[in-house]
Structure 1
């Protein structure tokens, strides 16, 4: 991947940080974003990346910041735009008791804002490139037989629906479109009891993303490359 350029949105910690590290390990040049101004693990990674990691700042829930990032990157081209952003809510919280404020916060962060990033920054990716968003297996309606994380599930299902609408509007687009499910991973979001480690998920997920290069249209895949039921 020595000639590959990656724009990674949301990489200060967890899965995003691991994605940045994996692409760097494979030889890609990476532009990765953080939300605030505080030093993060991504800054430590930059110190060891031999100039192949740039850090940008953006809060994807603020459209003006996304537009400003596009303007800063104007004239550059990327092989991959990967939007990794997400928050969760307590597992037991349901539509019966979630506050309107918390419901709105999850929907804006997990569904609307990633799609705004795709709409705003997608033009930075060439016709043979890839647009990917980190979804979740919990966004699958067909596979929801246990409940739990009700609002988080709904936000990821909404994200998937919006991405399908995007694909329908751009059915002649030659780029690869991906919704990726990383599995249940031990991160701040996934919690300490998750089934997978980052090392079990992210390298396989990156391999799956790269294997889809050149395949136009939208796919909803897990980290092993298996199709997830809508």
Structure 2
């Protein structure tokens, strides 16, 4: 549902840096109004976007999604807002080491950030999304059990697999809901996680992710797809 200006509205959780920032920029460039969250006050990237799009299309909110009280507070601040898209991008990784070498604290931190917290965002803020809207989450091909033939990044992989399973459970539990659910693999991207040898620039991936979010809005049901719209095996 477009707002009074005729623009659709997206909430991008984790929209202040790297791929999240470029997705925010891509949506703004396509005429969306975007609410982008940052973990702590201040984001040079978002301030530059605010200067580029001075018409008020960008709103910045502070949110640490690992703190349930902050999610609740954001819900209160957004009371009355209708979202056409809720996209949860935030996530972390850890050192590439066998799971037996990972400390309990590191394991819990990755799982809480990558799997539990996005679901808390969806459970709390999903009701703001219009019946024809889309709830998207940044997943990864590394969360695919079928594709795991080389190992590595074990805890990160496990966190994305857990995220996929939780979203699938959510979809089953809310099967009568008309909203579209998308788990999106952004490709191998030149980010902190992907490294400099990755095939895609941040801009190329963001463009593809935005295409997928727009093209599959209104599909209904749940899909696990990549930045080119190809199905990713579970």
What does the per-residue CA deviation read over 1:76-120, in whole Å, with 9 as the maximum and x for residues that have no partner?
Answer: 1010000001101122x1211000000000000000000000000
**Residue 39 of structure 1, CA deviation:** 3.2
Give the 4+ runs in structure 1 shifted more than 3 A: none
CA displacement 1:6-59 (0-9 Å, x = unmatched): 111001111100110000110110010000123331122112212110000000
> Pick from 167, 172, 175: which aligns with 1:171?
175
Name 1:56's counterpart in structure 2.
Answer: 61
Work out the CA distance in 2 between the residues paired with 1:181 and 1:80.
17
1:196 aligns with 2:184: no
Question: How far, CA to CA, are the matches of 2:82 and 2:186 in structure 1?
Answer: 26
- Taking the aligned partners of 1:104 and 1:59, their CA distance within structure 2 comes to 16
1:184 to 185, 188, 199: 188
Aligned equivalent of 2:161:
157
Give the unaligned 5+ runs of structure 2: none
TM-score (norm 1): 0.97
Matching residue within 81, 94, 102 for 1:89: 94
Shift of residue 213 of structure 1?
A: 1.6
Q: For residue 126 of structure 1, what is the aligned residue in structure 2?
A: 130
Deviation at 1:191, TM superposition (A): 2.0
Matched with 1:67 is: 72
Q: What residue in structure 1 maps to residue 152 of structure 2?
A: 148
Distance 1:43 1:133 in 2: 24
Distance apart, 1:205 and its partner CA:
1.6
User: Which one is further off, 46-55 or 149-158?
Assistant: 46-55
Shift of 1:188: 2.2
| Match 1:110 to one of 109, 114, 118 | 114
Write the distance in 2 (CA, Å) between the matches of 1:54 and 1:199: 21
Report deviation, 1:190. 2.1
Q: Which residue of 1 aligns with 2:85?
A: 80
Q: Does 1:45 align with 2:49?
A: yes
Distance 1:167 1:40 in 2: 36
TM-score computed with the length of structure 2 as normaliser: 0.95
Q: Choose the corresponding residue for 1:14, options 7, 10, 18.
A: 18
For structure 1, the residue ranges without an aligned partner over 5 or more in a row are none
Whole-angstrom CA distance in 2 between matches of 1:28 and 1:39: 20
Q: 1:204 offset after TM fit, Å?
A: 1.6
Alignment partners' CA distance in 2, 1:36 and 1:3: 27
Give the RMSD, CA atoms, in angstroms. Answer: 1.1
Query: Which residue of the other structure, out of 97, 101, 105, is the alignment partner of 1:101?
Result: 105
1:209 equivalenced with 2:213 (yes/no): yes
